[in-house]
Amino acid sequence: MFKLNFDVERHFLDNGLEVITIKKDTKISAINVGIKVGSLYENMNEKGISHFIEHMLFKGTKKRSYEELNDELEFLGGEYNAYTDYTSTVYTISCLEEEFKNAIEILGDMIINPAFNKEELEKERGVILAEMRTSKDDIEDLSFKRTNEVAFNKSPLKYDVAGIEANVKNYDRYDLTSFYKKHYIPNNALVTVVSSYNHDEALNEVKKVFKGWESGEKIKKDILEEKNICKSITTTKSNIEQNTIVYLYTFYNLNRDLELPLRILNHRLGESSNSLLFREVREKRGLAYDIYTSIDMTNSVKTLYIYTAVGEEDLNSAVSAINETISGVKSGSLAIGERDLELMKKVHKTAVISTLEDPSELCNYMLHQGLDGEDLYEFVKDMEKLHSLDINKIQEVAREVLSNPTIHILKS
């Protein structure tokens, strides 16, 4: 049995706000607020608005100017951040235990009372446009974006989280506040806290700040789950030294019992310097400095990517090496032995324990489990399943997932 050094309780305030308190022996507290809206929920004329609002919440509240807000965040002495992804917008603070109450109050003020100051809005518009343009010069970032653009016909995954440049140029205060009022409501949000406080004490601190937040009508929206288009396509960008290769697979119909084997396979395939792809492409053939895989297994996004960058003269050889590795894993000719399986189990266990030991990572993990409506103790069940996982399951999931990729090549 996997032993925990923390315990978790789930609560709901009268206004519908879900609160997850995690009691842990720690000197560092972590507070996360997640809003259940991200780029997948945006219409065409809203592409980029969730990300824009995330930026604006750091630009002042109704009682704190931009300077005051950021000075107080800084004075907590910890770390604060925010990010927008496909299905959520998340605001995070980690701080010393003695700053726990202050951190909750500041974060609550940001979430509930943003000013959307017109002057700050114009400044932030410039910042976001610069961010979008900078990403076009990052060939790795650009490669993933172009892959998504060609991989889908209608899926919102076609569009970057930062949105469409024309939209960002035109959003005004009314656009932002209208979207904010629709989605930033307590019954569409989740707060997670990790601290050494008892559950009742931690919950009371959250209540003090968030109980006055007025609930509203949740907007339900179905998200299109579209399988990637199986094709290979080449696009160009001038003045680049390296050429990139991206493979994209989707797996929306994968059975739940194959999700853990897929995580294990993903690690063996491309998540370490001893991975199968790294060995074949870099160590054996010397075609690339790096090659890796990345996976997303949230409720509404099921994607696996392979990425590498090579010289133009090595493009065909690199594609062949990737194809041969994938075929070998699926057929079993590229054997994953018992020792490999044992190593993968250890690596997965290490990753889970590392997450659970770090207050910020634990807080973020619990937040996303809650946002996705998943079991908060899923990691415990995964640890128990690891013991019975065998190589046949790894090959089964490889055959199911690693088929019909979208292949995008970026050339100079």
Dist CA 214 CA 112 (whole Å): 9
Confidence of residue 242 (pLDDT cuts 50, 70, 90): very high
The whole-number pLDDT of residue 13 equals 98
Checking DSSP bridges between strand 406-411 and strand 231-236, what pairing results, if any? parallel
Dist CA 172 CA 122 (whole Å): 9
Q: How many CB atoms lie within 10 A of CB 218?
A: 13
For the ranges 30-44, 89-103, 116-130, 210-224, the lowest mean pLDDT is seen at 210-224
Please report, as a single letter, which amino acid is at residue 384. Answer: E
- At 54-96, the pLDDT tens digits run 999 999 999 999 999 999 999 999 999 999 999 999 999 999 9
- The DSSP 8-state label assigned to residue 105 in this structure reads H
117 has pLDDT over 90: yes
Q: How many CB atoms lie within 10 A of CB 406?
A: 22
Q: What percent of the chain has pLDDT over 90?
A: 85
Average pLDDT, integer, range 369-384: 89
Confidence of residue 237 (pLDDT cuts 50, 70, 90): very high
Please report, as a single letter, which amino acid is at residue 211. Answer: K
Q: Exposed (0-12), middle (13-18) or buried (19+): which is 258, by Cβ within 10 Å? A: middle
Q: Would you report the helix, strand and coil content of the chain in percent, each value rounded to 5?
A: 50, 20, 30
The more confident residue out of 334 and 253 is: 253
Answer yes or no: are the C-beta atoms of 405 and 141 closer than 8 Å. no
Strand ranges, E, within 237-347:
243-250, 288-298, 301-310
The whole-number pLDDT of residue 4 equals 83
Average pLDDT, integer, range 260-286: 93
Calculate the alpha carbon distances from 166 to 86, 128, 132 in Å.
20, 12, 11
The whole-number pLDDT of residue 44 equals 96
Average pLDDT, integer, range 208-231: 94
The whole-number pLDDT of residue 1 equals 53
Average pLDDT, integer, range 262-276: 91
- At 192-203, the pLDDT tens digits run 999 999 999 999
- At 308-329, the pLDDT tens digits run 999 999 999 999 999 999 999 9
The helix or strand, by DSSP H or E, that contains position 73, with its residue range, turns out to be: helix 66-75
- Full-model pTM: 0.94
The whole-number pLDDT of residue 389 equals 87
Checking DSSP bridges between strand 189-195 and strand 301-310, what pairing results, if any? unpaired
344 has pLDDT over 70: yes
Q: How many CB atoms lie within 10 A of CB 8?
A: 18
The whole-number pLDDT of residue 388 equals 85
The whole-number pLDDT of residue 273 equals 82
Start-to-end Cα distance in the chain: 54
Confidence of residue 2 (pLDDT cuts 50, 70, 90): low
- At 277-313, the pLDDT tens digits run 999 999 999 999 999 999 999 989 999 999 999 999 9
Based on its alpha-carbon atoms, the radius of gyration of the chain, rounded to whole angstroms, reads 23
213 has pLDDT over 70: yes
Dist CA 60 CA 117 (whole Å): 8
For the ranges 13-17, 324-328, 333-337, the lowest mean pLDDT is seen at 333-337
Confidence of residue 345 (pLDDT cuts 50, 70, 90): confident
Dist CA 16 CA 34 (whole Å): 14
Average pLDDT, integer, range 267-286: 93
The whole-number pLDDT of residue 215 equals 95
The whole-number pLDDT of residue 334 equals 79
Q: Chain-wide mean pLDDT for the chain?
A: 95
- Catalogue all structural domains in the chain, each as residue range(s) with its CATH number: 6-210 (3.30.830.10), 231-411 (3.30.830.10)
